[in-house]
Structure 1
Amino acid sequence: MAKPNYNSNVISLRRDAATNSVELFSGCGGLAMGLSIAGFRHELLVEWDEHAANTVAHNRQRRAKHVRDWPYIKQDVRAVDWTQYKDKVHVVAGGPPCQPFSVGGKANGDKDARDMWPEAIRAVREIEPEFFVFENVRGLLRPAFADYVTWITAYLANPSILRKPGEEHLVHLGRLQRQANKAPYVVRILPVNAADYGAPQKRHRVLIIGVRKDRESLPELPKPTHSQDRLVWDKWISGVYWERHGLPRPSEDCIPPHEARIATKLNKHNRPPSENAWVTCRDAFVGLGEPSLRHDIPNHKFQPGARVYPGHTGSPIDEPAKALKAGVHGVPGGENMLAREDDSVRYFSIREAARLQGFDDKYQFPGSWTESMRQLGNAVPVQLASAVGTWLSKTMENRKRIQRVA
């Protein structure tokens, strides 16, 4: 394969677009894909990791939907001059590296050299977008990082009050708080579970969302569209889940205890929840079949070596998967396995993991299983990104409609 050209096809700014965006820390493209599906037009996508850049370049060369026109560059975000996008881009998005705050990592927080929150804040300061959305791990909200998260949100709200060289972030926080009433942005933290937004994966994350005050107050944040309660209803009350998959309904003694408790509660209401059902592994993998050593579906090869040990038990096939993990030092670990009905386990194929993260089957991963799983474990689920993007688009449209009436 020809050497990828990361910087080709960088398109010019569309200054009349209402949904222009730029993105930092784009990885293999999960957040960018979701926002593209929601109608956003990216003006720049920046990523430092060569393997992730290879993946995007591979799909851009294949003219994959949405990806073919991405202005994606492999570059250190610290070298990007964001001022060229001021007054031309409406949304800044990104997923700053999560390892400094991840339970699965060393959790060194702001002392970790990979902490890139200052760069995310710089992008907001230089562009002055109407909105910004940043995604990170749930570990960001651990008590040990409380002061640092308070500093992040205060700095995002008032990014023009620069942190002085050598200034401790708590000293800077004091200055930010004294001028909080003059902050141009209102910022909110939204803990989310990707399964509640249609991803077949119980992936708990944190969204930090901001809106410029001169536009409007922060609207109601995105509401979940899917629920575990509805999945339990479809499985154990209506039975439509089993019918959809052409399976006999299991006996009552097969109900997992946690679902039995929910079913008892739902039976008292005698009506199904209004949300869609959580999407399960079985739902996500329809049409794939079992992976094998030789398979005609790209990225759907069998990966040997899966085994069960304490804390590493795999994902039940009739539930959303446990969160995909990138692992420590690039080695996938944790729960990247499927637990079959006969109690055996196997690793997810790359294609299965890609479906769990919302990438369609035409989006390919040219690297090894280990490297591809690392990229997927670091990605933002496309389904979650699309839900947030749809919310942003509707919010912007409502703002324009109010302005027209006024």
Structure 2
Amino acid sequence: MGDTKGTLKVVEICAGAGGQALGLERAGFEHDLLIELDDDAVTTLRWNRPAWRVTQGDVADRNVWAPSDYAEGVDLLAGGVPCPPFTTAGQQLGATDERDLFAWAIEQVGIIRPRALLLENVRGLNQPRFAGYRQHVLDRLREFGYAAEWRLVNACDHSVPQLRPRLILIAMQPDDLAYFHWPTPVGNPPTVGQALLPLMSANGWEGAEAWARRITSIAPTIVGGSKKHGGADLGPTRAKAKWAAMGVNGWSVADTAPFPDEIFEVGPKLTCDMVARLQGWDDEEFRWEFSGKKTARYRQIGNAFPPPVAKALGLAIADALNKSTIPTERYQEVEHDPIYRALRERGDFISLDEIARALKFPMKPHELEYRIELLSRDFHIELRSGSPIAYRLGTIKAFRGKADHTRHRNLHHETNRTS
């Protein structure tokens, strides 16, 4: 394990363009390794922090890096694994989505044995649809000797001028987790107008101050998209309508701030620098530069974890590992899916009546059947016909590290197709 009296060491997977990395650095963590697949994001990381060891490639490819090389020497394993398997804007395929790396990341905890784990993803993972998946994560971490907790954290609670809710997973050994306290909100964030006025008026636009005064709210959640997405814009139609109501043209991203006498029917477009400001980057504590063309820069920014939120979480994790806070008297893990737990604890076939008796609250047979159907989307579940019908829980369908898994072939094909 790492030395809590010295610098805390972190390995970061799916590092993106460095939002989480910068925040953790500001919290006092030192990166031993960052792994990222995207060319432009890797260039951004190396440009801003030449001293960091940045490895490019598929994070699950043992030819790219070997998690066992970092066993027992890492204080924090952190990352933001792909969100499309869980986002409400997608099909929510969960464990059957070949982009899903959440279950794989959990398995690395058993190899690396970090003192703490920090993973973030979209709030869609917090829906009832994925209750069994979340329970699997908690149970698997418990097998490795860790206690864990999920919480929905809003970026606007940490001075970032957009809501941007993210589901955060924190895990530590129980004695350390007792000292962990979720970061407290720091007050109201600036409005979009307040945050962007210096940038919007950079070229002398005469309407900048009036525009900024009219915008009295924070931004809709920034959407970065993917290489399959057509270009840089501020999200789907519903999001663009919200931006338009605020006085922002969200159909594309501008190259420069408005010039002195420009007049807009809807409002000005945002530049990449403005979007970065809404994600929490600034010219002082969180100064950062992004590589690539406009669309590449926008995607890096839009998909990032806001640095101020990462810093707040990093400080809370560091305080726990250093035991510099008051410990809680008792840690009690929240149960996310009692039906999954009942199936798992039986380890063999179990009928609906037996599942119902194992629950702490009543549930009708058709409700149980629906919940089992939800579980079957992410887990192999065997059905035994007869009277009564019985179910047996199998393994999770998600990729967890198999060398011959189809995700490797499909990732190679998709990388070549979009490069």
* Deviation string, structure 1 residues 285-310 (Cα, Å, up to 9, x no partner): 24213477x99xxxxxxxxxxxxxxx
User: Please, which of 222, 240, 247 is the counterpart of residue 340 of structure 1?
Assistant: 247
- How many residues were matched structurally? 288
Residue 186 of structure 1, CA deviation: 0.7
Report what 1:217 is aligned to.
178
Distance 1:397 1:218, change over 3 A: closer
Q: Which residue of 1 aligns with 2:348?
A: none
What TM-score comes out, normalization by structure 2 length? 0.63
Deviation at 1:370, TM superposition (A): 2.2
Report the CA distance shift for 1:106/1:55 in structure 2 as closer, same or farther (over 3 A).
farther
Please, what TM-score do these two structures have when normalized by structure 1?
Answer: 0.65
Moved more, 73-82 or 375-384: 73-82
Q: Is 2:288 aligned against 1:398?
A: no
Corresponding position of 2:131: 146
Separation of aligned partners in 2, 1:203 and 1:346 = 22
CA contact (8 A) 2:163 2:221 kept: yes
Contact 2:179 / 2:323 at 8 angstroms: preserved in 1? no
Q: Which segments of 5 or more consecutive residues in structure 2 lack a partner in the other structure? A: 206-213, 249-263, 328-419
Match status 1:24 vs 2:13: yes
| Structure 2 counterpart of 1:279 | 190
| 2-structure distance, mates of 1:201, 1:358 | 9
Question: Does residue 51 of structure 1 match 2:56?
Answer: no
Structure 1 unpaired stretches of 5+: 1-12, 61-66, 160-183, 227-276, 296-315
1:296-326 CA-partner distances (Å, limit 9, x unpaired): xxxxxxxxxxxxxxxxxxxx73222111002
Aligned positions of 1:121-132 closer than 5 A: 121-132=106-117
| CA gap 1:216/1:107 in 2 versus in 1, 3 angstroms | closer
> Equivalents in 2 of 1:368, 1:152: separation in Å?
38
1:190 is displaced (CA, Å) by 0.8
Distance 1:395 1:214, change over 3 A: closer
Computed over aligned residues only, the root mean square deviation of the Cα atoms, in angstroms, reads 2.8
Q: Deviations over 1:51-86 (max 9, x none)?
A: 2112223x23xxxxxx23221111211122112222
Q: 1:374 aligns with which of 292, 299, 315?
A: 299
Partner secondary structure for residue 290 of structure 2: coil
Which of residues 264, 288, 305 is equivalent to 1:363?
Answer: 288
Q: 1:37 to 1:14 in 2, by over 3 A?
A: same
**Do the aligned residues in 1 keep the contact of 2:141 with 2:148 (CA within 8 Å)?**
yes
Amino acid at match of 1:186: A
Partners of 2:56 and 2:308 in 1: CA distance: 25
The equivalent of 1:324 in structure 2 is 222
After the TM superposition, which segments of 4 or more aligned residues of structure 1 sit over 6 Å from their partners?
13-16
Aligned CA distance change for structure 1 residues 126 and 400 (closer, same or farther; 3 Å): farther
Matches within 5 A, 1:59-208: 59-60=47-48, 67-78=49-60, 79=62, 80-159=65-144, 184-208=145-169
Give the structure 1 partner of residue 386 of structure 2.
Answer: none
User: Does the 8 Å contact 1:129/1:212 carry over to 2?
Assistant: no
Matches of 2:97 and 2:124, distance apart in 1: 14
1:175 corresponding residue in structure 2: none
Match of 1:41 among 9, 30, 36: 30
Deviations 1:20-39 (A, max 9, x none): 11111100010001000111
Counterpart AA for 2:178: S
